[in-house]
Amino acid sequence: MPVIDIELSEKLTISCNILAQEGHGNLTMGHVTARRADQPYLHMNPHDLGLEEITPDDIILIDFNGNQLQGSGRRHSEYPIHTEIYKMYPQINCVIHTHPFYSIIVGATEGTIKPISHEGSLFAGIPLFEETSLLIRTPALGRAVAQCLDGRHAMLMRNHGVVVVGESIEAATVYAALLERAAKMQVTASLVGPGQTSTSVESEGKGEQVFYSKNIYGFWDYFVRNLPNVQRSG
Amino acid sequence: MPVIDIELSEKLTISCNILAQEGHGNLTMGHVTARRADQPYLHMNPHDLGLEEITPDDIILIDFNGNQLQGSGRRHSEYPIHTEIYKMYPQINCVIHTHPFYSIIVGATEGTIKPISHEGSLFAGIPLFEETSLLIRTPALGRAVAQCLDGRHAMLMRNHGVVVVGESIEAATVYAALLERAAKMQVTASLVGPGQTSTSVESEGKGEQVFYSKNIYGFWDYFVRNLPNVQRSG
Amino acid sequence: MPVIDIELSEKLTISCNILAQEGHGNLTMGHVTARRADQPYLHMNPHDLGLEEITPDDIILIDFNGNQLQGSGRRHSEYPIHTEIYKMYPQINCVIHTHPFYSIIVGATEGTIKPISHEGSLFAGIPLFEETSLLIRTPALGRAVAQCLDGRHAMLMRNHGVVVVGESIEAATVYAALLERAAKMQVTASLVGPGQTSTSVESEGKGEQVFYSKNIYGFWDYFVRNLPNVQRSG
Amino acid sequence: MPVIDIELSEKLTISCNILAQEGHGNLTMGHVTARRADQPYLHMNPHDLGLEEITPDDIILIDFNGNQLQGSGRRHSEYPIHTEIYKMYPQINCVIHTHPFYSIIVGATEGTIKPISHEGSLFAGIPLFEETSLLIRTPALGRAVAQCLDGRHAMLMRNHGVVVVGESIEAATVYAALLERAAKMQVTASLVGPGQTSTSVESEGKGEQVFYSKNIYGFWDYFVRNLPNVQRSG
């Protein structure tokens, strides 16, 4: 029987706390899972706590069928978002599902992110999941979500929220923060007019110039340094 | 002569404090009443204090004719909003009337809430009271408000504010917070365009999937944990 | 030679601090004057300090020709806004000139306040000073401002700021706070559409129901209680 | 070999901290350089720290070819923005390049600042750099930026950010703060409509009445007094 991985739980906790700070909190809703490469089970924050409230002791463990292996907190019913993405994309080790304010608005209106600023270039043209705005509670719906994601870092979900993924907790968390920043700028810019956007050549160039791996991990370090309470009880 | 119910006064105080935090404050305006099932008198916050300033000692008691039974604070003149709703809906035990910024804007423009996000689904199509934007100071106007409410959780009041009701202080308070969140998203989304909304089947489904009773009370607990000063003098 | 009135200086300081909190601050710009009834000289906050930085020791005294009678701080060059209003309206004992963000936007676009909420009813149809957006540094321009005010509580100044007046520091300060709140709601509501407004009968009725004198002074007390640092060095 | 100038490093640090407070921060991105008159090398904040994190010990020294002369922090790759501006404008002693939210939106939509408020008058009609939204990493691109600036205090960069310059750290920093304030008002005012703006005569007049040198340095002093942590380790 797998046991709780303290190091992963601590990093997952920090991810939840950063996400809350970056506009991904919505009462006690939203969930983040992570695994070490190729593990067929997941660490997950539990139901009933806000993302900013999570501590490492709260983390639970579930298998790919949603069975709870460790931890006393309640499992989120939308676990198939996570399990089906891990099954389809072996290189993904962290999946985030939240209800960020501006990203939901973009999903309900323009339907995708436009490359207005550096952040926008990273998510230009990401897919919109339109099949349902209800919860993703079955493996079939989870597979539909995973397919719609189509290998991108993030996806909008109509009248619901977002999915963001990464090779690591650090990468997925930074992408999620950047996505909501891009969405906020896009929504705000809409009040002035359609405007100019970066060309696809420019957007790709920014991937190399701004969002290279070392910088993504540097942004994670920045977020960690600026959390109000980084030192938490283990 | 009924006496002040300490437990109800403490819960009513927490409700006022949560409402202030969730954008329902407007100087010293806004009032919340509550009763235990079938009681023909109400606990109410007094005039002249902001919602975030209320303490349990401030709560007053009035009967269904607005006569003040207990407490030294000034009674709000709009008590008929409360008394007439309790008379018409026996299952309601908490009534909130406030001036939340975004809900007022929705009331003055689109006139009802659209199901853009989960929160919006809960209030899709709620009624708008249009008869007057003046204060509701007579039983006749109070009855008109109660009738307009039409059994929903909430109602917008043209150029004035909102009414939110619930079976308990917890439920009404959470509904009020969710209403203003839905209104804020709707107003902000208007920047971008008309957009997509959840279908009525989806909105109903979310009532069962997201806003079931246990979750509503879980949201109340979340708000209580995150109040800046939960422990207050009794 | 008149001397500094400690009580008036303390109240003027609190006014400046409240105004800063209510969105009237703009770096070190903005000025408030006050007098006791019929005094031909003014207490004024000095140049070079933000409204939230003012303490009673900073207050200066000027006569109706702008001569500085007391205090070492620099006098604002736009004193004629104040002196000419006092000359034209003997019942006015406090004049505020500031650059509040949303009121400037209303002045540059729709040009007057609409009665969308309670606050808006108080300022429905207030005048817009259009003659210049430059500073008001001459008695002639000051008189033009005073005439444009036309006996209302407040006036917008095109591409510049606002003037708010009252029978007392308390009244003018509360009006100024309510004006910026009304302007913020109007600007925000514009993103949804034209919308409904209170009728003129309703707006007048709200003057009696909501903005009667006792309530205005109650709002002042509320602001004072909620200033971060009410107790300041004398 | 030039050495770190403690006084300049401390002032540059304060500039970075003020910029962060005034909406110019964007994770660890953004850079400020300064020199004493005619010096052919620059003090610069390093890569990998947010503007609000910089301390005097972090400042690095580079020459006009981007060679790092002092300091262990990583040099920003966009140094040619700075070096080419200093070469073309000998009177400039501080150059700021940041990604401020509202200024980016103006750059992507209306393309220049309009004189809606006092602040807007200072930047009315500033140029927009449109050649690329990618990073400015070559002397040729740096020269194009410098030429586009055309002697103004500031320039917008399409889908990227801004450049702001001044005769001193104080002046450039205050201009940068005023630019973002003007951009925020312009974006927000777009909600309501096209609106009125100051005439060019008025805008020029405000340069003399409001933005004269003594006042600009007074605004710097105001920002310094209001930084959360002005006293920092040297």
Q: Measure the CA–CA gap between B184 and D214, rounded to whole angstroms.
A: 42
How far is C-alpha B230 from the chain's CA centre? 20
- Inform me whether the pLDDT recorded for D11 exceeds 80: yes
- D100-155 residue pLDDT tens: 999 999 999 999 999 999 999 999 999 999 999 999 999 999 999 999 999 999 99
| Residue C229: per-residue pLDDT | 55
Determine, for residues B202 and A158 on separate chains, whether the beta-carbon distance falls below 8 Å: no
Q: CB contact, 8 Å: A209 with chain B?
A: no
Helical pair D169-189 and D6-21, crossing angle rounded to 10 deg: 10
Pick from C184, C202, C218: which is nearest to B134 by CB?
Answer: C202
List chains touching C (3+ CB pairs under 8 A): B, D
Q: CB contact, 8 Å: C207 with chain B?
A: no
Residues of C whose CB is below 8 A from B132: 202
Give the distance from residue C218's alpha carbon to the nearest chain D alpha carbon, in angstroms. Answer: 31
CB atoms within 10 A of CB D65: 11
Q: Measure the CA–CA gap between C42 and C62, rounded to whole angstroms.
A: 5
Determine, for residues B118 and A29 on separate chains, whether the beta-carbon distance falls below 8 Å: yes
Residues of C whose CB is below 8 A from B29: 118, 210
What's the token pair of residue D175? 């201009």
Q: Measure the CA–CA gap between C184 and C178, rounded to whole angstroms.
A: 10
Residues of D whose CB is below 8 A from C157: none
- Inform me whether the pLDDT recorded for D231 exceeds 60: no
Determine, for residues B202 and A99 on separate chains, whether the beta-carbon distance falls below 8 Å: no
* Model ipTM value: 0.93
Torsional sign, CA A123, A15, A22, B14: positive
Q: Measure the CA–CA gap between C161 and C132, rounded to whole angstroms.
A: 11
Q: Measure the CA–CA gap between C159 and D116, rounded to whole angstroms.
A: 5
Cβ-proximal residues to B232 (8 Å cutoff; 6+ apart), any chain? B13, B55, B56
Pick from D195, D221, D225: which is nearest to C109 by CB?
Answer: D195
Cβ-proximal residues to A43 (8 Å cutoff; 6+ apart), any chain? A4, A5, A8, A9, A12, A33, A34, A35, A59, A60, A61
- Percent of chain C past pLDDT 70, that is, above it, reads 97
CB atoms within 10 A of CB D224: 16
| Residue B230: per-residue pLDDT | 45
Determine, for residues B133 and C202 on separate chains, whether the beta-carbon distance falls below 8 Å: yes
Q: CB contact, 8 Å: C104 with chain D?
A: yes
Give the distance from residue C159's alpha carbon to the nearest chain D alpha carbon, in angstroms. Answer: 5
Determine, for residues C27 and D115 on separate chains, whether the beta-carbon distance falls below 8 Å: no
Backbone angles phi, psi at D153, to 5 degrees: -75, -25
CA distances from D204 to D119, D176, D210 (A): 12, 19, 10
Kindly state the DSSP code that residue B177 receives in the 8-state scheme: H
CA D78-D79-D82 angle, 5° bins: 115
Give the distance from residue C217's alpha carbon to the nearest chain D alpha carbon, in angstroms. Answer: 31
Q: CB contact, 8 Å: A189 with chain D?
A: yes
Q: Measure the CA–CA gap between B168 and B171, rounded to whole angstroms.
A: 5
Q: Measure the CA–CA gap between C23 and C21, rounded to whole angstroms.
A: 6
CA distances from B14 to B59, B79, B160, C223, D27 (A): 12, 20, 24, 21, 37
Pick from B26, B48, B106: which is nearest to C218 by CB?
Answer: B48
Give the distance from residue D109's alpha carbon to the nearest chain C alpha carbon, in angstroms. Answer: 17
Determine, for residues B222 and A132 on separate chains, whether the beta-carbon distance falls below 8 Å: no
Average pLDDT for D215-221: 97
- Inform me whether the pLDDT recorded for C206 exceeds 90: yes
Q: Measure the CA–CA gap between D32 and D42, rounded to whole angstroms.
A: 10
Q: CB contact, 8 Å: B189 with chain A?
A: yes
CA distances from D219 to B41, C21, D102, D203 (A): 57, 19, 21, 19
Pick from B117, B121, B221: which is nearest to A104 by CB?
Answer: B117
Spatial strand order of the sheet with C68-70 comes to: C68-70, C60-63, C41-44, C31-34, C94-98, C161-166, C154-157, C128-129
CB atoms within 10 A of CB A67: 11
How far is C-alpha B216 from the chain's CA centre? 14
D57: three-class secondary structure by DSSP: helix
Determine, for residues C159 and D202 on separate chains, whether the beta-carbon distance falls below 8 Å: yes
Query: If you count residue pairs, one on A and one on D, with CB atoms under 8 Å apart, how many are there?
Result: 85
Cβ-proximal residues to C7 (8 Å cutoff; 6+ apart), any chain? none
Question: For residue D178, which amino acid is it?
Answer: L
- B166-211 residue pLDDT tens: 999 999 999 999 999 999 999 999 877 768 999 999 999 999 999 9
| Residue D229: per-residue pLDDT | 56
Average pLDDT for C197-218: 94
- Residues of B (151-170) whose Cβ lies below 8 Å from C: 158-160
Residue B209 has, within 13 A of its CA and on its CB side, a CA count of 19
Cβ-proximal residues to A165 (8 Å cutoff; 6+ apart), any chain? A85, A89, A92, A94, A95, A96, A149, A153, A154, A172, A175
Average pLDDT for A202-218: 95
The full DSSP string for A24-59 is: I-BTBB-EEEE-STT-SEEEEPPTTS-TTT--GGG-
List chains touching A (3+ CB pairs under 8 A): B, D
C214: three-class secondary structure by DSSP: helix
Determine, for residues A28 and B195 on separate chains, whether the beta-carbon distance falls below 8 Å: no
Residue A228's pLDDT band (boundaries 50, 70, 90)? confident
What's the token pair of residue C33? 């004057």
Q: Measure the CA–CA gap between A98 and A20, rounded to whole angstroms.
A: 10
Determine, for residues C105 and D198 on separate chains, whether the beta-carbon distance falls below 8 Å: no
Q: CB contact, 8 Å: B222 with chain A?
A: yes
What's the token pair of residue B75? 């009674």
Three-class HEC string of B72-107: CCCCCCCHHHHHHHHHHCCCCCEEEEECCHHHHHHH
Determine, for residues D27 and A185 on separate chains, whether the beta-carbon distance falls below 8 Å: no
The full DSSP string for D214-232 is: HHHHHHHHHHHHTSTT---
Q: Measure the CA–CA gap between C165 and C153, rounded to whole angstroms.
A: 5
Give the distance from residue C74's alpha carbon to the nearest chain D alpha carbon, in angstroms. Answer: 12
Q: Where do the H-state alpha helices sit in chain C?
A: 6-21, 79-88, 101-108, 118-123, 139-149, 169-189, 200-209, 213-225
Give the distance from residue D123's alpha carbon to the nearest chain C alpha carbon, in angstroms. Answer: 14
How far is C-alpha B232 from the chain's CA centre? 22
Q: CB contact, 8 Å: D28 with chain A?
A: yes
CB atoms within 10 A of CB C28: 20
- Inform me whether the pLDDT recorded for A61 exceeds 90: yes
Residue D193's pLDDT band (boundaries 50, 70, 90)? confident
List chains touching D (3+ CB pairs under 8 A): A, C
| Residue A231: per-residue pLDDT | 41
- Inform me whether the pLDDT recorded for D7 exceeds 60: yes
Q: Which of D18, D116, D210, D215 to mutate to test the interface with C (most CBs of C within 10 A)?
A: D116
| Contact assessment for residue A46 and residue A58, using Cβ atoms and an 8 Å cutoff | yes
Residue A232's pLDDT band (boundaries 50, 70, 90)? very low
Q: Where do the H-state alpha helices sit in A101-138?
A: 101-108, 118-123
Pick from D132, D159, D191: which is nearest to A117 by CB?
Answer: D159
Determine, for residues C192 and B110 on separate chains, whether the beta-carbon distance falls below 8 Å: yes
Chain D residue closest in CA terms to A120: D159
| Residue C233: per-residue pLDDT | 32
Q: CB contact, 8 Å: D116 with chain C?
A: yes
Chain C residue closest in CA terms to B49: C222
Backbone angles phi, psi at B117, to 5 degrees: -125, 180
- Inform me whether the pLDDT recorded for C234 exceeds 60: no
Average pLDDT for A143-149: 98
Determine, for residues D198 and C159 on separate chains, whether the beta-carbon distance falls below 8 Å: yes
Of B160, B51, B49, whose CA–CA distance to B99 is shortest? B160
Cβ-proximal residues to A194 (8 Å cutoff; 6+ apart), any chain? D109
Determine, for residues D210 and C133 on separate chains, whether the beta-carbon distance falls below 8 Å: no
